[in-house]
Structure 1
Amino acid sequence: MSNDPNNPCLFCRPEKKADWLIAENELAMLWADSNAVSEGHCLALPQRHVGDFFELTPEELLAINELLQQRRAELLQKDPTIDGFNVGINVGKAAGQSIFHVHVHLIPRRFGDHPNPQGGVRHVIHGKGHYPQPKK
């Protein structure tokens, strides 16, 4: 997290960390998403203020992945209704990034939470989510 009091980043505000923190390690944090799209939706983010996913160090990537794996296991153990997950990262304004501190979404999914989930993350481009199924 940034120690700069002039940094306007939502994820760098100590009071927000206190409100939303689920877990952390030396290089990364796991936060509850304040605008969750499903129960259990959370964000993994680096402790260091960095805006672009592709600027993360290998160590930060491993630390983030460790928290994602840990949280996935916890969610599956406590919530048997979870049938799958979406993992997503928005990089840049054109891709929908609105907070320029890297954060990785872990979104639990349940059968029936969407009428047709085929295509998953492909839905970020309107009309591209559904595609013909291969013939068997």
Structure 2
Amino acid sequence: MIRKAEGAIVYKGNEFLLVHKVKVSALEKGSLMEGEWDFPKGGVEQNDLSLEHAILRELEEETGSTQYRVIKQFDDKICFSFGKSFQEQTGWKKQETTIFLVEYFGDDSDLVPKDREIAEVNFLPYEEVYERLTHKDTKQYFKSFFNEKLHDCVLCYPDLEPEQQVVFANDHCMFLQLNQSKEKGVQLEGSGLIVPRKHRETAFDLTREEWEATYDLLHKVKEHIDQHHHPQGYNVGWNCGEVGGQHIFHAHLHVLPRYESEPLSGKGIRYLFKSKENKRA
């Protein structure tokens, strides 16, 4: 038989959550062990309504917090075979662990484990996480996450880009700014992107809820930019498709404050398209 389990790569900013396990699970009668560092993981239980429900339950048990938002379920699983004695004791031959990417939005004060298997809960930077992880297969999975999954789409994991900040967010979308755009007098001062939390290729793929959330956030963003940068105008828009100038295929709404002191003041998007250089062959 195959034991179904779930686990989570939990992030807050550019740090990741590890738990220090000092007891083996109830499957092995709670026996003591030297201790191991791992991501929160556990078996799917009969009362779990779904894998997502299971990982949120597991996170509450192992960390004491409910302040989590599931971002993504990964296709790749962590799989391994149990030792002979464990197989004879439980009937389980293998384990398949489904991994989720999860965001923590608490303030750390609620991170008090309920599960006696867990001695510590810590957020750590990437390098320290990789060093501390006990199991080779989990280390390899985490490395793969950084080398492949993270770089698939930079807007799916905005908190993990050190030069970028999530300034505002709601349930469906976020406003992102690069640190350099906050400086006075630079090109694109105050500019940023509103992006859906879920991966949508273009603006045409957004749900109604995502459109409404984008609308709500846009007004909050304008108020923020007006207060901090005092622009005299705006360009706001989506690039859709490669020909339309889209280079990152995760839908993003450009919010570009404009200033009277710019050389191109008074010229908008149509100026570019109407130029002689844009004459069709």
> TM-score when scaled to structure 2?
0.41
Aligned residues: percent identity? 29
Q: One-letter code of the match for 1:15?
A: L
The alpha carbon displacement at 1:97 in A equals 0.3
Contact 2:173–2:210 under 8 Å retained in 1? yes
Q: State how 1:1-136 maps to structure 2 within 5 Å.
A: 1-4=71-74, 5=145, 6=149, 8-13=152-157, 14-16=159-161, 19-33=164-178, 36=181, 37-80=187-230, 82-118=231-267, 120-125=268-273, 127=275
* Partners of 2:169 and 2:220 in 1: CA distance: 11
Amino acid in structure 2 at the alignment position of 1:38: L
Residue 114 of structure 1: CA displacement?
Answer: 2.5
Give distance in 1, aligned partners of 2:165 and 2:237. Answer: 19
CA shift, 1:69, in A, is 0.9
Unaligned segments of structure 1, at least 5 residues: 129-136
Secondary structure, counterpart of 2:201 in structure 1:
coil
Unaligned runs of 5+ in 2: 1-70, 75-144, 182-186, 277-281
RMSD between aligned residues: 2.4
The alpha carbon displacement at 1:74 in A equals 1.4
For residue 117 of structure 1, what is the amino acid of its counterpart?
Answer: G
Greater percentage in strand: 2
SS in 2 for 1:65: helix
What is residue 132 of structure 1 aligned with on the other side? none
* Cα 1:43–1:115 shift into 2, 3 Å: closer
Deviation by residue 1:35-93 (Cα, 9 ceiling, x = unmatched)? 8541100100100101011111111011112111101011112333x101100210000
Name the larger-Rg structure: 2
Once structures 1 and 2 are overlaid, which stretch shifts more, 42-51 or 108-117?
A: 108-117
Counterpart CA distance in 2 for 1:94 and 1:34 is: 28
* TM-score of the superposed pair, with normalisation by structure 1: 0.80
Instruction: Note if contact 1:28-1:64 (Cα within 8 Å) is conserved in structure 2.
Output: yes
Task: Give the 3-state SS of the residue equivalent to 1:45 in structure 2.
Answer: strand
Q: Are the structure 2 counterparts of residues 116 and 25 from structure 1 closer, same or farther at C-alpha, using a change threshold of 3 Å?
A: closer
| Distance 1:23-1:70 versus aligned 2 partners, 3 A rule | same
**SS of equivalent to 1:68:** helix
